[in-house]
Amino acid sequence: MSFEPNNVLITGGAGFIGANFVRHWLATTQQGKVVVLDALTYAGNIDNLKGLESDPRYAFVHGDICDEAAVKRLMETHRIDTIAHFAAESHVDRSILGPDDFIRTNIVGTHSLLKAAKALWLDKKPVATHRFHHVSTDEVYGSLGPDDEPFHEETPYAPNSPYSATKASSDHLVRAYHETYGLNTTVTNCSNNYGPYQFPEKLIPLIIINILHGKPLPVYGDGLQVRDWLHVADHCQAIALAITDGKAGEVYNVGGNSETTNITIVKTLCDLVDEQLSQRPDLAKAFPSSPAVSGRKAMDLITHVRDRLGHDRRYAINYAKAARELGYAPGRDFATGIRATLEWYLSDQAWWQALLGRDYAAWVKKNYAA
């Protein structure tokens, strides 16, 4: 039996995946409100939602998921029946430098949302029709060897970073609220996303922007770590399907069918950016320090730096359950998706230039420390 969401609260909707999901949901549904709750941390960016202000179905609320009373008020005001929970501290490197914000938002914040949902949906009679969807990661399963079977929904949890430990903890809380109180939850655990609006501290946008500026391309360790790259539009489709067609209490793994090493990604981007700069005089003029402008190769910028502490070697996803039960299939292969993503970063330069201006000192410190 499928669930028909009406008014949806999207936490973290000003972040990378959340903003893509807000746009996806507004474009693919006809009714109900979309209320974004976002604390606008360094990773949150109101520009990610630009153009939606005039949509009568959309509202933005600046606030913290840890503020349970405010969440309850918001849910009552907008008669929320569905939560799509994206808000999180999401960058592994930052979690290694300082886990506290991760504990607060990812664990305490998720629990605050669960308590608000229980109070409004379960504790008042009659029990409301509702859905709590939690967006999680494949990193909760730990690291695979080269010949290991991909992660599936029964793979034991073995988180290795403070980030993945907090996501694992939030997954357990969501499960407990289903098992103990009967909250109608669904969870998706997905692989590495890429696409428009990704904050430029993550691998793909960081490499594109560094090539454009002729800066070193930091590759952690030998660069042979493997991730299964998932286009954010495919991820949004899977989340929407889990909300409407997923069974309460179930977990669905979402992958992109695109296992690739980091060094391959970096080299692919080097070739693609070189190609664009040699074909487009406007880009060559805007980015004179990019190697292709002076006949050199972006690959020369590749710099192997100290490896990430506790760096997971390989992630891979078996998404057979989502395919079977939700009809999910990734629609974009990596070769097409990475070209489209590069094109987005090249055509929307103002978006990332503004971010570099805002957090530039921290960004430089992180990227150029060997």
User: Contact between 64 and ligand NAD (CB under 6 A)?
Assistant: yes
Q: Which stretch binds ligand NAD (CB under 6 A): 70-78, 185-193, 291-299, 331-339?
A: 185-193
User: Contact between 141 and ligand NAD (CB under 6 A)?
Assistant: no
Cβ atoms < 10 Å from Cβ of 275: 14
Q: What six digits make up the tokens of 328?
A: 């999910």
Q: Give me the 217-236 binding string for ligand TYD, x by CB under 6 A, dash otherwise.
A: -xxx----x-x---------
Q: What six digits make up the tokens of 84?
A: 């799509």
Q: How far is CA 101 from CA 40, 41, 166, 202, 363, in A?
A: 14, 11, 10, 18, 18
User: Contact between 192 and ligand TYD (CB under 6 A)?
Assistant: yes
Rounded (10°) CA dihedral 347, 352, 354, 357: -140
Active-site choice (138, 171, 201, 259): 138
Closest CA to 177 of 128, 138, 132: 132
Q: Which does 225 bind (CB under 5 to 8 A by kind): ligand TYD, ligand NAD, none?
A: ligand TYD
Measured between alpha carbons, how far is 221 from 225 in angstroms, rounded to an integer?
A: 9
User: Contact between 246 and ligand TYD (CB under 6 A)?
Assistant: no
Q: Answer yes or no: 123 catalytic.
A: no
Measured between alpha carbons, how far is 354 from 45 in angstroms, rounded to an integer?
A: 10
Closest CA to 49 of 86, 79, 104, 91: 86
Q: Answer yes or no: 201 catalytic.
A: no
Q: Answer yes or no: 139 catalytic.
A: yes
Closest CA to 39 of 95, 93, 105, 122: 105
Binding to ligand TYD, residues 251-270 (CB under 6 A)? 262
Residue 201, classed as helix, strand or coil, is: coil
Active-site choice (58, 163, 194, 197): 163
Q: Which does 219 bind (CB under 5 to 8 A by kind): ligand TYD, ligand NAD, none?
A: ligand TYD
Q: What six digits make up the tokens of 253?
A: 């793994």
User: Contact between 258 and ligand NAD (CB under 6 A)?
Assistant: no
Q: Which residues bind ligand TYD (CB under 6 A)?
A: 92, 192, 202-203, 206, 218-220, 225, 227, 262, 308
Indicate which residues carry an active-site annotation.
138-139, 163
Q: Which residues bind ligand NAD (CB under 6 A)?
A: 11-12, 14-18, 37-41, 43-44, 64-66, 86-88, 90, 105, 109, 135, 137, 167, 190, 192-193, 199
